[in-house]
Amino acid sequence: MDIHEYQAKELLKRFGVQVPRGGIAYSPEQAVYRASELSGDKWVVKAQIHSGARGKAGGVRICANEKEIAEAAQWMLGRVLVTHQTGPQGKLVSRLYVEEATKIAQEIYLAFVMDRKEERVVVVASGQGGMEIEEISANEPESIIRSVVDPAVGMQAFQAREIAFSLGLDAALIPQAVKTITGCYRMMEDTDANMVEINPLVVTQSGEIMALDAKVSFDDNALFRRPEIMEMRDKSQEDTRETFASDRGLNYIGLDGQIGCIVNGAGLAMATLDMIKMAGGEPANFLDVGGGASPERVLMSFQAVLNDPDVEAILVNIFAGINRCDWIAEGVIRAVRELDLKLPIVVRLSGTNVEEGRKLIAESGLPILTAETLAEAAEKAVVAWKAATLKEAV
């Protein structure tokens, strides 16, 4: 789960990380009022969406007076902002963050990420802040600093000092840098975050270290024990298909194809996507229905897949262990009847109660295609999809 920049800064502030003063606004009038509360002679108006690269899309503006603030807010609010991270569909701007402008002396990149290979939190830092990490890797690879944190002891002060010195910070700034680095790590650990990225972390002309931007992601599987984090969720920034599925306990990731997939097990789901591609089709989603799926859960899975208007065929691929093929078959039959499905459906069943499942489908009298193997199922799904597309075109 992602959160907005202003929410990330509120969390960082709790753990001793300095951030510029700012306030949230939902209208141009509120934006002007927030600036007057902050005082000063320059302010930054930022569109709040779950994406980086907002500045390049016009979502971050430096303003010198009330008129400029109002105009910037008017332009941003209600606009669908498109960045290279949002994709062509963009994200709707419904709130702004107005903060005091900061005089910058140095920019730094600082991130804490879960490295699955190391099975540790890894600190990634660079003295070349303000750019995406991909740009830094390409342009200044020698500037990237990596430091692995031992989970048994956490981020230690000596380790934070090593990172700070490697960034070339002035000796007088090292205590502040240590406080910032250890504060970020404690926030990550105490909130079950799986990424904390500050870009840029700046040294101001007055000698302070501040987080000018912040991006934080959380482990979805830990949200049940973090209700205060869950309250920060903004569903308007999420893919509606994925939101529908996650609210019903389904593991779903939307893709760009036309063949919907309902599979049990992440590995089998990935293999199914590959087989569809090899057969000449394009998968519309990754969906793991999970173990012990009831007919009701299968029905919900169909609903999740059909929330994508581009889906023109559905492939159900089940290798039942904990699951039962007869339950899956009941769910498929219910979905076809209750949702009045007209698009092609291919079902491949294997494992526990497979004969009972196949019998239920055969006796249903519904136009459901069946297959013995995954390769056959993928081939049938692609052929059926192409035939249905051609028929519709004619």
Measured distance CA(276)–CA(305) in Å, rounded:
16
Catalytic residue among 5, 6, 185, 197: 197
**Distances from the Cα of 329 to the Cα of 30, 161, 173, 259, 270, angstroms:** 55, 60, 65, 19, 22
> How do beta strands 369-371 and 104-115 pair?
unpaired
In this structure, what are the phi and psi dihedrals at residue 174, rounded to the nearest 5 degrees?
-60, -45
In this structure, what are the phi and psi dihedrals at residue 201, rounded to the nearest 5 degrees?
-95, 125
Measured distance CA(199)–CA(176) in Å, rounded:
17
Residue 286 · residue 278 · CB < 8 Å: no
Give 150's DSSP letter. P
In this structure, what are the phi and psi dihedrals at residue 320, rounded to the nearest 5 degrees?
-85, 125
Annotated binding site for substrate: 264
> Any catalytic annotation for residue 109?
yes
Burial 321-338 (b: 16+ CB within 10 A, else e): eebbbbbbbbbbbebbee
Annotated binding site: 46, 99, 102, 107, 199, 213, 264
Catalytic residue among 97, 109, 185, 252: 109
Annotated binding site for Mg(2+): 199, 213
Catalytic residue numbers, as ranges? 109, 197
